Amino acid sequence: MADPSGNKSQGPGDEQRSGNKRGGAGLKIAAAIIILIVIVVAAALLTLNITVMDATPGVPMPFSTSYGVSFPEGQTITIGNVQISTLANQGVIITSIDGDKQNMAVGDQRVISERRAVITTLGAVTLIDTHFQITLTYKGERDNRAYYDMLVQTSAQVPDLLLNHLLPSSIDARPA
């Protein structure tokens, strides 16, 4: 169809086709961006690394998270670089933390010395650098498992996702 000035004008079908081309390109770009974000997030999660080392005590630790945990008796469990094992013996529990054994009765506490954790991803990106300390309070024994209240104190706010990544599934940790 031609207008009086001699220029060709587009019919209604032509306008819809050109609009669909622009909309289709926008959807493709949005989909590509979403796929790229998913790939980057997956790579970040897959390369998550936690390095735990000894630390000089004295750093303030204003953040805390509490868990109810149970340790399987006779097995060594590693939290960060701390090795913990428990064994019941005539009404008390023998708790070994990094080879230091101590008898504990219900209500007794053990403090695991302050450590430093550096959480990185993608090989070099530091997410969190924090000091932490763990306090275990013995609650008793059931079904060949030693039950504790565990308090994790940190110098920086650590998301629960990362804390849960640090705790092995064999201890059955549940937020308190």
Q: Compute mean pLDDT per 10 residues along the chain, 176 residues long, and list them.
A: 53 51 80 93 82 86 93 87 86 88 93 89 86 93 88 90 78 84
Q: For residues 76 and 61, is the Cβ–Cβ distance under 8 A?
A: no
The per-residue pLDDT for 10 is 54
Contacts of 148 (CB under 8 A, 6+ apart): 68, 69, 70, 71, 136, 137, 138, 139
The per-residue pLDDT for 119 is 84
The per-residue pLDDT for 74 is 86
Structure tokens that stand for 112 in this block: 């695991």
CA gap 143, 11 in Å, rounded: 79
- Please provide residue 73's backbone torsions phi and psi, each rounded to the nearest 5 degrees: -70, 140
Radius of gyration for the alpha carbons in the chain, expressed in angstroms and rounded? 28
The per-residue pLDDT for 49 is 80
Beta bridge partners of 119: 50, 128
Beta bridge partners of 140: 147
The per-residue pLDDT for 60 is 94
CA gap 122, 44 in Å, rounded: 6
